[in-house]
Every structure is written in structure tokens, then in C-alpha cells.
Amino acid sequence: MPRKRGVDPMTTDEELVARSRAGDLDSFNQLVLRWERPIYALAYRVIGREEDARDVAQEAFLRAFRALGGFKNQAKFSSWLYRITLNLCRDWMRRERRTPVSQPPEGVDVIELAGEADATESIEDLVARKELGRAVEKAMAGLPDEQRTAIILKEYHGLTFQEIADLLDCPLSTVKTRLYQGLLVLRRQLRQAGVEGGFRREPGRARFGAVERRAES
């Protein structure tokens, strides 16, 4: 397959864009390969459904490919791609008339997790982390769209405040306020859900704060 062909990792996105615009399909597919995971992750975290997130990601690349002629290198390619993806997510939510749904499976499956465990993390820690992940997903789904989107772009995609402001067409101060408020609400909700503490470090080993269970009957 041509797309598996190695490309110099030092080749910038913008160089690949230029080649793609000159008609080199392989270069565009290299961009796809580079960005498909982040774009899928963005879509998943915004809309909360795996299958729809995959569809959104695919559609985002298709649109980017078709609109490549209109991309003027004013923004980074990734920002442009993020914008396309966020627009698609917004369309999806409008169409589905819903806020993101998080449908994590009931309970954490220990056997499934055993396969993912690596040497540095005990299965117990892994279970705690997975349960925490589910709690976070649920709490995030409860946040207003603007706050959630800002947090996702900042936390999982490492965008600067300015990049987020450009992407969401809002003032810089608004981005910071959304982050501040969103994070504090999240923290409160997780505390209410029984999640305490943060990331504790013990010698030689990473441990997440345990997910406290309410007194069981």
C-alpha cells in the first residue's frame, strides 16, 4: 500500500499540503495517517459515540481533501482540520438534537483489562483508572458544550489559548473563563461521584487515586 510508505517525519504538514495540492494523493494520505487518531479522538470526545465519531472523522478528511484548494496556509493545517471536524460535530449534535451521550459499558471488565495491563501498572490500578475514565466521561458530558469543547482542545490536543479562540471564534478571555469554570465544575462533580484525590506518585510506580465506592449494601 502506498500510504504505508515511510515519509520523513520531519516533513511538515504544510509541505505535505503543498504536494497534495499539486495532485500528489500519497502526500494527502500521509496527512490522513498523521491526523486520523487525533481527529477521531476529538470527534469521540465531543459527540460521545464511537461509530458516529468514526463517520465524522472520515467525513472531515473527505471535506478537507475536497476543499484543499481553498486552504490558504493562514492557519495551521491541523487547526483547519479541527475546525472542519468541530463543524461536523456541531451538525451532528444539531441533527441528533442531543447533547453528547456517554455510553460507557456497565462495569469494568477485569478480563478485558488484563490484556491491556502492562508491567508498570497492576490490574487493580488499571481498573481504578478505567473506572475513573468512565466517571470523567460522564461528568464531561454534563458540561455546557462551550466549556467541554475548550477543555478537550486544551487538554487532549494541546492547543494554545489563542488557537482555541481562533477556532471557536471567541475572545481570548472567554476561552480562559470557559476553561476555569469547566474544570472547577468537573472537579466538583467528580468529587460528588466519589472520586477523591489526584495522581499520587509512589516510588517506582504510578498509582491513581482510588475510586471510592459508596457503602455497598
C-alpha distance from residue 165 to each of 35, 52, 75, 82, 169 (Å): 21, 26, 13, 13, 6
Which cell goes with 30?
A: 500521509
In the complex, least distance from residue 168 CB atom to other proteins, rounded to whole angstroms: 15
Is 28 or 97 the residue whose CB approaches other proteins more closely?
Answer: 28
Is 158 or 203 the residue whose CB approaches other proteins more closely?
Answer: 158
Q: Which residue has the cell 500521509?
A: 30
- Which residues partner with 72 through β-bridges? none
Contacts of 120 (CB under 8 A, 6+ apart): 205, 206
177 contacts 196 by C-beta, under 8 angstroms = no
In the complex, least distance from residue 109 CB atom to other proteins, rounded to whole angstroms: 6
Query: Applying CB under 8 A, which residues contact other proteins?
Result: 1, 3, 25, 28-29, 32, 36-37, 40-41, 44-45, 50, 53-54, 57-58, 61-62, 65, 107, 109-111, 124, 127, 129-130, 132-133, 135-137, 140, 151, 154-156, 160-161, 173, 176-177, 179-180, 183-184, 186-187, 190, 195, 197-199, 208, 213, 216
Is 71 or 161 the residue whose CB approaches other proteins more closely?
Answer: 161
The one-letter code for the residue type at 159 is L
Is 98 or 187 the residue whose CB approaches other proteins more closely?
Answer: 187
In the complex, least distance from residue 21 CB atom to other proteins, rounded to whole angstroms: 13
Pairing of strands 199-202, 205-208: antiparallel
